[in-house]
Amino acid sequence: MHVIHRVIPNRKEILRHFDKKDAVMAQLIRKSGPIKLKRNRNYFIVLCNAIIGQQISVAAADAVATRFKNLFNGHCPTPQGVMKLQDIDLRKAGLSRQKVAYLKDLSLHFHGKILRPHRLHHMDNDEVIHQLTQVHGIGRWTAEMFLIFSLNRPNVLPVGDLGLQLALKKLYRMRQLPTVKRMRALGRKWNPLETVGTWYAWRVQDEKVVTY
């Protein structure tokens, strides 16, 4: 079944939407400039980078991702390539034992066609999350990063993302980190552009544009 998905609108439409729904976010968008969210169609790489980035800072994740890519001698990492690598070499690149196992399982899913990447584009967000979370080490957060960075879905709100929680606390001058309930309430205001609100909120926390 082919599902027609919305795309992220242009800056004018984004501002019109947030001017109506959330003045704080509208102000941030004006200050921050255009959204830079490029669609990365190399689904395998995006998922590798999302696994590498789990529970570590952006700077640490960048360093490990670079060392990981260097293991492929200038070639793009592939499922077969990862499966051939020795665990010890992946560990030397800075990956934990757990993340090595996750990358190997991800490679197996791609190589064995258990996960068919071209089908993901035609699924809705919940179906994509369900498919991806069958892989060891891919939880909801990693699947949401995939929805944002690979499929560029406009309506993703990763409530489990610490960067987003910290940013919202700062942006809306909260005393403590927002609860899931509070974040979902904001998400309802932003709907159907939760991804846009998330992306701009991340800029408050870290000016560096995150890519996967």
List the CATH number of the domain containing 127.
1.10.340.30
Any domain includes 18: yes
**Mean pLDDT of the chain, nearest integer:** 93
Residues 65/49, Cβ–Cβ less than 8 Å: yes
Q: Are residues 60 and 32 in the same domain?
A: no
Give the percent of the chain with pLDDT over 70. Answer: 95
Residue 73: burial class (beta carbons within 10 Å; 0-12, 13-18, 19+): exposed
Convert 15-53 to b/e letters by CB count within 10 Å (16 or more is b): eebbeebbeebbebbeeeeebebeebeebbbbbbbbbbb
What was the pLDDT predicted at 1? 46
The amino acid present at 66, given as its one-letter code, is T
Task: Provide the domain limits for residue 15.
Answer: 11-37+155-205
What was the pLDDT predicted at 212? 62
The total domain count for the chain is: 2
For the CA atoms of 124, 147, 172, 55, what is the dihedral angle to 10 degrees?
Answer: 130
Any domain includes 2: no
Q: Are residues 186 and 131 in the same domain?
A: no
CATH code: domain of residue 169:
1.10.1670.40
Residues 114/86, Cβ–Cβ less than 8 Å: no
Q: Are residues 87 and 160 in the same domain?
A: no
Residues 71/64, Cβ–Cβ less than 8 Å: no
Q: Are residues 143 and 161 in the same domain?
A: no
The model's pLDDT over 155-188, given as tens digits with 9 standing for 90+, comes to 999 999 988 999 999 999 999 999 999 999 999 9
What was the pLDDT predicted at 209? 63
Q: Are residues 145 and 160 in the same domain?
A: no
Any domain includes 211: no
Any domain includes 200: yes
Residues 135/105, Cβ–Cβ less than 8 Å: yes
Q: Are residues 169 and 73 in the same domain?
A: no
What was the pLDDT predicted at 6? 78
Any domain includes 4: no
What is d(CA 60, CA 65) in angstroms, rounded to the nearest whole number? 9
Any domain includes 176: yes
pLDDT under 70: residue ranges of the chain? 1-4, 208-212
